[in-house]
Amino acid sequence: MKLDGLEAWWTLHKWRDSRRSATGWLSAAGVILDVDNQGHATLSDEQRQRLTAAAEAGRLPGNLFHLTPAGARVVWMLDAAVENADTWRNLYAACAADLREALKAAGLNELQVDTSASDLARMFFTPNCQAKGCTRRAEVVVLHPELLPSTGRTHEARKPGSSEAHETRASSLRAAENFRTANFGAEQLRAIGEAVQETIPSTPGRRNRQVFPLARRLKAIAGETRLADLRPFVQAWHEAGVAAGVFGAREDSQTAAETWSEFIYCWARVKVPAGEPGETFTRALQAAQACTPEEVRGACGMVGLDSEDHLKIAALCRELSIIHAGAAFPLPCRLAAKAAGCSPQKAWRALQAFAEVGLLAQHERGSDRKADKLAATFVWKGDELL
């Protein structure tokens, strides 16, 4: 891409009347994902070299690759524009899973796939332009010539094959078909896919023991959803365990039914979802402190709530939303106050103001009763305002 200039930008989205907005979204011609360090930290020179080498060797999926000031960008071009938002989000989640897999295969486990650009109003600065006070000069690497089918079957990067990888891949594709029927967003599907893969036991004889960790992970992501919506994911978990050879000798419908029955039992008994409350907040706080105010200033500035305290609390909300895969997250006022370095009363007023202007949507009200003391839960809407 040779487009140059001051803050030159491009996008694969098409909007009504050419006005960038999620509500005016019409279609998308591809998928764009970023790669960076945990907490959105800038890549080191050594990491840039390794990542570029993997791209030039064709070990990353997608069509195009280039470095950015903080990390790198991977682009998939579709063989036909997608006009359904849910279909595009499913494609987005599938591409993220492919890229995450390829990074691990290339020995770049420390890097993360940033899926925060999954909104329908996103644009990107070009590889060669002047933006955010710096001059960007990046070579674009062509990864693979094949276009991504709009039906959702992604092409893989070239990497050593194995029967185990083939079986895991086949299981993931079957699960992806089930994912399309569930009432979840792209970020939630990505997080659920990770939970499914990461809770499969590594040795035989631990199927029942690992169902409860799976239930805790899904409870943290999906909250109090209908059990029927979770069955495809539990089925995918069971199939992946069968493919890995760790689920015993009877690999039939009876053992799948036993897994589902055990999951129902565990789901009803999950009192504390995985990563809550302290672990999740600590991760979100560290990520929020690492990001720059500019990452949330746009949304906050649009509604006139861009003081230092407001920006810190907004950054925390955004990171909690990412960790919870776009679902509702709990946020006590005292923890919001800790992030901003202000009083709980001031933090409470900030959260209420965010809810009034649409930066946050309050999902459930909190309770101060000792018997059921609960924090209010929110859904972050800031990225939708941009």
Kindly report, residue by residue over 127-165, the tens digit of the pLDDT.
Answer: 878 766 677 788 888 888 878 877 644 444 433 333 443
Exposure on the CB side of residue 193, measured as CA atoms within 13 A = 30
Q: Give the three-class secondary structure for 155.
A: coil
CATH of domain 9-142: 3.30.70
Tokens of 77: 């071009």
**Strands 72-82 and 111-114: what pairing?**
unpaired
Top CATH class, 278-385: mainly alpha
Q: Which residue has the higher pLDDT, 230 or 163?
A: 230
Q: Please tell me the predicted confidence (pLDDT) of residue 151.
A: 60
Q: Please tell me the predicted confidence (pLDDT) of residue 1.
A: 44
**Strands 13-15 and 72-82: what pairing?**
unpaired
Q: Please tell me the predicted confidence (pLDDT) of residue 179.
A: 43
Condensed to tens digits (0 to 9), the pLDDT of residues 29-53 reads 999 999 988 777 888 989 999 999 9
What number is the average pLDDT over the span 295-323? 86
Q: Please tell me the predicted confidence (pLDDT) of residue 135.
A: 78
* 3-state secondary structure labels for all residues of 298-366: HHHHHCCCCCHHHHHHHHHHHHHHHHCCCCCEECCHHHHHHHHCCCHHHHHHHHHHHHHHCCEEEEECC
Can you give the C-alpha Rg of the chain in angstroms?
21
* Beta-carbon count within 10 A of 230 CB: 22
Condensed to tens digits (0 to 9), the pLDDT of residues 349-361 reads 999 999 999 889 8
Distances (CA, A) of 17 to 25, 83, 85, 102, 385: 10, 16, 18, 38, 17
- Residues 6+ away with beta carbon under 8 Å from 55: 65, 72, 141, 143
**Segment among 9-18, 254-263, 326-335, 369-378 with least mean pLDDT:** 369-378
In angstroms, the CA 241 to CA 226 distance is 24
Q: Please tell me the predicted confidence (pLDDT) of residue 27.
A: 92
User: Where exactly are the structural domains of the chain?
Assistant: 9-142, 163-267, 278-385
